[in-house]
Amino acid sequence: MCRKMIKKMRKIVLTLLSLAAIACQEKKAPTTAAAETPQEAQEKAAPTLTYSNLVDTPTQEKVQQALIAAGISASNVSAFLESVALFNQTAGAKANLVPEGFVTIDSLLPKYDEVAIQTDWMNKYPAFQGYNCRLTSFTLLRDLIAFPDKKFASKGEDEVLFIDRESLRNAPKKLFTPAEENDFFALFTEVPTTNTKDINTHLQAMQRAWKERGITFRYKGDPTKASLISAVFHSQITPEENMLFVGHVGVLVPYEGKLLFIEKLAFQEPYQAIIFANRTELSDYLMNRYDVEWEQPNEIPFIMENDSLMDGYRPNPYKVGANGNSPSL
């Protein structure tokens, strides 16, 4: 009886966590923290973001060229752009998308009309949630990640990936082959870890799990090729039971002497292509979205590039102090 209760409680906890993070959603921050130093305040000054929602054909073509040049197959890029068109044409009219090209804003968080997006989307696809960050990234990189030719023992009622599974089942077209679906769940199924705030321990747990699952990255360490960028979250279900899961993920490629990060924000949120000068800027962008809690019992998220800690990774430099500044920029 006790074991059944523990299992039920675990499922409830993971389900609540999944609704907050696994859909690639932004987390909200508490309003109190330690006061910031002048140096920290200067570091936080005037962040900007240069991004596109891939609405217009010329921008799509430029991004398409960058993705193919980085080793992604033309067929996978075409499937990705088809999904972009599905979202933009279904829910983009009132969403406040960038109509053409790239724009630069004085914030790390573009503003969208989420209510309008959800209304338009659900009117057309009441049973289909849409595609999220994991489904989008795997669409692009499925040929650049090697998997063993065997069945992965994924759980049919996986608490973290249950919406992903439903989206694959209810999508208007078949997104992956059965073998690719198997590989998808091998890559993104949660990983057991220990109750610690040591990032290296959690990183090693992810690396060990992927190695045991036979997962390798074909172009690891090649700066000219596309890479998988994963924001990994630590979930403490109980002090004795801890899990890691990929709460957000995107694809990074070289672009005109800089870096281009491709992501789908959430099931019913837009696609974004963002230009960064370096990986530290990318880390700051992601951590500004996801490293926003204070005094939590679990470790803060960390960023992986393929199966290593991303160069330039650091905790969120924009976390607010007790002065009541906005929790996100």
pLDDT in tens, 161-173: 999 999 999 999 9
Residues contacting 210, CB < 8 A, separation 6+: 187, 307
Give me the mean pLDDT over the 128-138 stretch: 97
pLDDT at 215: 97
Q: How many whole angstroms from its chain centre is CA 119?
A: 23
pLDDT at 24: 64
The candidate with the shortest Cα–Cα distance to 152, out of 184, 176, 127, is 184
Tell me if 313 sits within 8 A of 299, measured CB to CB. Answer: no
Distance CA(206)–CA(200), nearest Å, equals 10
Distance CA(329)–CA(313), nearest Å, equals 18
- Residue given tokens 């696994």 in the structure block: 22
Does residue 293 have a pLDDT over 90? no
Percent of the chain whose pLDDT exceeds 70:
82
Ranges 21-25, 193-197, 274-278: which has the least confidence? 21-25
pTM, to two decimals:
0.87
pLDDT at 144: 97
Does residue 121 have a pLDDT over 80? yes
Higher model confidence: residue 28 or residue 205?
205
Sign of dihedral through CA atoms 180, 184, 185, 191? Answer: positive
Give 211-240 pLDDT, tens digit per residue.
Answer: 999 999 999 999 999 999 999 999 998 889
Tell me if 54 sits within 8 A of 273, measured CB to CB. Answer: yes
Distance CA(79)–CA(172), nearest Å, equals 13
R_g over Cα of the chain? 19
User: How many other CB atoms are found less than 10 A from the CB of residue 290?
Assistant: 23
Distance CA(118)–CA(296), nearest Å, equals 31
Beta-carbon-side half-sphere exposure of residue 205 (alpha carbons within 13 Å): 23
What is the DSSP secondary-structure string of 105-133? ESSSS----HHHHHHHHHHH-TT-----H
pLDDT at 198: 95
pLDDT at 153: 77
Distance CA(130)–CA(51), nearest Å, equals 21
